[in-house]
Amino acid sequence: GAVVSQHPSWVICKSGTSVKIECRSLDFQATTMFWYRQFPKQSLMLMATSNEGSKATYEQGVEKDKFLINHASLTLSTLTVTSAHPEDSSFYICSARDRLAGSGTQYFGPGTRLTVL
Amino acid sequence: AQSVTQPDIHITVSEGASLELRCNYSYGATPYLFWYVQSPGQGLQLLLKYFSGDTLVQGIKGFEAEFKRSQSSFNLRKPSVHWSDAAEYFCAVGAVYNQGGKLIFGQGTELSVKP
């Protein structure tokens, strides 16, 4: 149980284009999902908290107009990197909190490797 | 300030040897504590978690961790390491009373296993 998927697993795009990454909780409902960014050999940096049916809460320093987050259902959140540039290249990981399990346990997706040329 | 410290960036142990990964935290509220493992290019897998009760927590893959409130520590242990345990390990702390469900992660400890 508690499986989170991400799609795509990797993507290469040209500078200036937009890329959408999907995060799905497969066997549980997630009122809250989180988006992280991870640079090589570093820890996870929380970008934003996504709550179903409401606007995402962004961490300080994260551009909300560049990283658009939508959490339209209890099992799906999307992150759109708009007008991507090479500095946006990174490993993006989502997590989902099982609303029934409570207690803050987050289950993580396998990550999406974004490369912007 | 809330923080999680994993003092060891990289640890190498021989296969079959015991392992202890250190984690110290600074947190204003009663914490939830987690250990996650990440293989290269993969997401994070939950190894174990502590919310309350018995301070010695058993997890998957033969791992255990002990919560020591007096030392603000939550060290991860395994009595006999397998080559497949080589990975990055992250300690994380969150709030008991649901401060948005956010987790604070340590810097990670990379584990290498010698044959």
Report strand pairing: A19-25 vs A44-51: unpaired
Any residues with CB less than 8 A from the CB of A63 and at least 6 apart, and which? none
Mean pLDDT of B27-36: 86
8 Å CB contact of A49 and B90: no
Measure the CA angle with vertex A77, ends A74 and A81; round to 5°. Answer: 170
Task: Please determine, for residue B99, whether its predicted confidence score (pLDDT) is greater than 70.
Answer: no
What residues contact A55, with CB distance under 8 A and at least 6 apart?
none
- CB nearest A49 (choices: B44, B102, B106): B102
CA-based R_g, chain B, Å: 14
Pairing, β B87-95 against β B19-21:
unpaired
Region A103-116: mean pLDDT is 88
The better pLDDT of the pair A72, B25 is held by B25
Chain A contact for B31 (CB, 8 A cutoff): no
Give strand pairing partners of A68: A80
Report the residue of A3, A4, A6, A44 to disrupt the B interface, i.e. the one with the largest count of B CBs within 10 Å: A44
- For residue A21, what are its two tokens? 């990454």
End-to-end alpha carbon distance in chain B: 41
Position with higher pLDDT, A13 vs B2: A13
pLDDT of the residue at B95: 72
Q: pLDDT band for position B42 (50/70/90)?
A: confident
pLDDT above 90 covers a percentage of chain A that reads 69
Per-residue burial over A48-68, b = 16 or more CB atoms within 10 Å of its CB, e = otherwise: bbbbbeeebbbeeebeeeebb
Residues B98-114 have a mean pLDDT of 86
- Token couple for B23: 């984690």
pLDDT of residue B53: 87
Alpha-carbon span B1 to A66, nearest angstrom:
29
* Inter-residue contact B74 to B25 (CB < 8 Å): yes
Q: Name the residue facing B42 among A34, A104, A110 (closest C-beta).
A: A110
Reduced to 3 DSSP states, what percent helix, strand and coil does chain B have, rounded to the nearest 5?
10, 55, 40
Question: Does residue B101 surpass a pLDDT of 80?
Answer: no
At B28 the pLDDT is: 76
Q: What is the pLDDT of residues A4-56, one digit of tens each?
A: 999 999 999 999 999 999 999 998 888 889 999 998 888 899 999 998 888 89
Question: What does the buried/exposed string (b/e) look like for B10-35 if buried means 16 or more CB atoms within 10 Å of the residue's CB?
Answer: ebebeeeeebebbbbbebeeebbbbb
pLDDT digit string, tens, across residues A69-78:
998 888 999 9
Is pLDDT at B97 greater than 70 in this prediction? no
Beta bridge partners of A104: none
Whether residue A8 is preceded by a cis peptide bond, meaning omega within 30 degrees of 0, is: yes
Give the β-pairing of B56-58 and B64-68.
Answer: antiparallel
Give residue A63's pLDDT band: very low, low, confident or very high (50, 70, 90). very high
Q: Indicate whether A95 pLDDT > 60.
A: yes
Residue numbers in A near B96 (CB within 8 A): 104
pLDDT score of A51: 86
pLDDT at A25: 92
Average pLDDT, chain A: 91
